[in-house]
Amino acid sequence: MLVLITYDVNTETAAGRKRLRKVAKQCTNYGRRVQNSVFECILDNAQCVTLKAILVDIIDENVDSLRFYYLGNKYQTKVEHIGVDRGIAVDDTLIL
C-alpha cells in the first residue's frame, strides 16, 4: 500500500537537528522524498508497523509530529502531481 509520511521536527536545538536527520534517513530507507518533509512509501503491513515504531522512537512527541496517510493499493487514482517531479516514481523499477 502507498503510505504518505509527513513530519515536522523542531530544529531549534542540536538534538532536534539530529532527530530531523534520523527521521529523514529512515524514511529514505523505505520510500522516496517528494517534498522536504514528505515521503511516499510502498509498504506492506509489517513494514508499516516497523517504520512507524522506528520513527516514534526517534521523535520527541512533546515538540515534533508525524502524520501517516494510508492511501492503499489503488493510490494511482488518489494522487495528482503538477510541476517538477523528483526522481523516479516510488513503485518504478530501479536497475543498478
User: pLDDT of 12-47, one tens digit each?
Assistant: 999 999 999 999 999 999 999 999 999 999 999 999
Strands in 65-72's sheet, in edge-to-edge order, are 31-35, 38-42, 2-8, 65-72
| Lookup: cell for 13 | 536545538
Rounded to the nearest integer, the mean pLDDT of the chain is 87
Residue 79 has pLDDT above 80, yes or no: no
Contacts of 48 (CB under 8 A, 6+ apart): 1, 3, 68
| Lookup: cell for 91 | 513503485
CB atoms near residue 19 (< 10 Å) = 21
First to last CA, the chain: 24
- Give pTM, 2 decimals: 0.80
Question: With contact defined as beta carbons under 8 Å apart, do 58 and 19 qualify?
Answer: yes
